[in-house]
Homo-oligomer: A and B are copies of this chain.
């Protein structure tokens, strides 16, 4: 790896804040060759499936121009598609230009004076807090592999008298998982809060039974009206470039958001994605690639855990947080990049204690390459 590339990359990283620069930007501005993008947390088999339907229904049929040319359907019209596959009434659904737009909207509008946030976490949850609201950080313990002690977290929320709380499940960047049952107890104890954000962006990679059935807690909004469930489409369907996410919340909040904004916030292609998801035959095909990818990921985690040079945090997401022994995370990152593998250097993650990288599970063949490279670190 040339020093020049690394220094451009460091500069790009600074400009991207606490996120990774896009692959497009890296390839445009450096001569780095990336063969395996293990920074990007998505199911590549689902992208294959989406592309095959997209090519048939949109490209081959000549419908693409319509999707690019005309104004897209409004938020409420797309919410009706989502209602079909979630079973939640459309008036409870707010659709976003990516989950990140919803995170921003909810943090700016509904959290009140203070918000509890477990760390390490996805950085936007503290960066986007505005209007003088304070963040109360709940440190996940290294000794517990950063896994969530949900009762302790509830105690923390109560003792700090926060008005709101965040729970990402499975959590990013460690993949720690809290069961449905435990979450329901948590919601029940904290029903007095203004807002509880449950971010299920990685929930499609989790499971509680041997059939690997999909989990979703959106219907709990009817029982716990302070709950806001946020769902990204970028991870499970591997279409981050489209920008698509949705949330489930009490209908008054949906109405409040739409009253003063979010007009035409979804592209024609995003509207198509949600329409496709409301198609039962697509959902059946998707469940197959979802389970295939989960099995794949399980094997990947087993192989990772067998490596001597690293410590792997148990994960129910599609990525693993990996502690590098005897090396800085930047050095590990640069070494892997020299092998054509792009991972997430976690040195900027607050709440992590040690030298960590985050490695996504990709296709079977790509995962083998990642393992080989990590062996020689």
- A contacts, CB < 8 Å to B: 15-17, 19-25, 37, 40, 42, 47, 50-51, 54, 59, 64-74, 76-77, 97-98, 100-101, 104, 108, 124, 127-130, 234, 238-243, 259-271
A59 neighbours in B (Cβ, 8 Å): 59, 64
A129 to B260, CA, bound (A): 7
Shortest CB-to-CB span from A207 to chain B, Å, is: 24
Contact of A73 among B22, B68, B76, B260 (CB under 8 A): B22
* Beta-carbon contact of B23 and A241 below 8 Å: no
Given A24-B66, A70-B22, A104-B262, CB of A76 within 8 Å of CB of B15: yes
Identical subunits present: 2
A101 neighbours in B (Cβ, 8 Å): 97, 265
* Beta-carbon contact of B243 and A77 below 8 Å: no
A124 neighbours in B (Cβ, 8 Å): 263
- Considering the complex, give the chain B residue whose CB is closest to the CB of A16: B74
* Beta-carbon contact of B72 and A22 below 8 Å: yes
The listed residue with most B CB atoms (<10 A of its CB), out of A67, A129, A259, A268, is: A268
A-B contact pairs, 14 of them (CB 8 A): A15-B77, A22-B72, A22-B73, A37-B70, A47-B65, A47-B69, A54-B68, A68-B269, A69-B241, A97-B101, A100-B264, A101-B265, A104-B262, A240-B264
The listed residue with most B CB atoms (<10 A of its CB), out of A42, A238, A267, is: A267
